[in-house]
Amino acid sequence: MICKVVLFGPLVIFLLVLPASAAEKVAATLFVKDSLTAPNQPVTVEAKLVAKGLVKDSALGGEPIELVINGTVAATAMTGGDGRAFLSYVPKAKSITSVRARVGNSPRVASSEGEANLVVWERRSPILVVEMASLMEEGLSKGPMPGLIPMSQPELKPMSDAADELGKLTQFYYGVIYLTPSASGMDGFQTNLEAREWLKVHKFPPGLVLVGPAGEDGVGAMIDNLHAAGWKTIKTGIGRTKAFVEAFLRRRLEAVIVPEPSKGDTPRKAKVAKDWKDVRKKL
């Protein structure tokens, strides 16, 4: 502690200047995105550290981040000016593991951590891509960009039998990728978290959550990127919107639309399931 004496005429004022280490640390939120790789192949887990502000959040750069897997620190990295940290890791076996990132020893930022799924699949494993809107009750998934309702809202209910039927599909055979759009101007971290929590609350099988631009072009780019990365077994999409289904059909891939749309709204060559109990019959 440093003591300073300031003279104002006959008055002597002692000022106590606390060391910087005693200052209150910044409260922050650490977001983590889901990630996908194959056994013995490197994966980059992406995290973002932000401080909540009155008007907007601010990214926190220059802070240490640790990746914790099975209780052990598996990787470390520093956040850049945009608050992002990229943590590299090589998993050994097929699994879907909940991994945790946390703020390391920082003199400026208070302790914070976030979780996400690390999905490790064999390249030959068949994969379903499911549009999040197809899991939601009628009326809650409509609009120009279905699925953008904050997933933390309690009234956002799943369709009847969706979790059970998807659980049966993924129990022994398929891996599942959940696709949801992000609002304009957002980078997907918050949406990824909300989607993952909604799926967990409603007991959907674990999988990979991907956040991307809405519309046929956004879905199509996601398919192309996954195929380019070696995930050639992505051949089927289950969705609710015409744009999602068309993105698969235009690439000569199989697509199932659920529930059955209004007359005239069914894309040509799409398979139609009246409800989720009917989906398995279409695959």
User: Domain map of the chain by residue range?
Assistant: 29-120, 127-282
Other residues' Cβ atoms within 10 Å of the Cβ of residue 199: 24
Specify the length of the chain in residues: 283
The pLDDT value recorded for residue 167 is 95
Other residues' Cβ atoms within 10 Å of the Cβ of residue 150: 11
Query: 98-142: per-residue pLDDT in tens?
Result: 999 999 999 999 999 999 999 999 999 999 999 999 999 865 444
Structure tokens at 96: 């879907």
Residue 169's pLDDT band, with cuts at 50, 70 and 90, is very high
The pLDDT value recorded for residue 23 is 63
The pLDDT mean for the chain works out to 86
What average pLDDT does the segment 48-63 reach? Answer: 86
For 207, residues 6+ apart whose C-beta sits below 8 A from its C-beta are: 96, 117, 119, 170, 175, 176, 177, 178, 199
pTM: 0.85
Is there a shared CATH topology between the 29-120 domain and the 127-282 domain? no
Query: 80-97: per-residue pLDDT in tens?
Result: 999 999 999 999 999 999
127-282 placed in CATH 3.40.50.1000:
yes
Query: 7-51: per-residue pLDDT in tens?
Result: 444 444 444 444 444 468 899 999 999 999 999 999 999 999 999
Largest separation between any pair of C-alpha atoms in the chain:
93
* CATH superfamily assigned to domain 29-120: Immunoglobulins (2.60.40.10)
**pLDDT at residue 6 greater than cutoff 60:** no
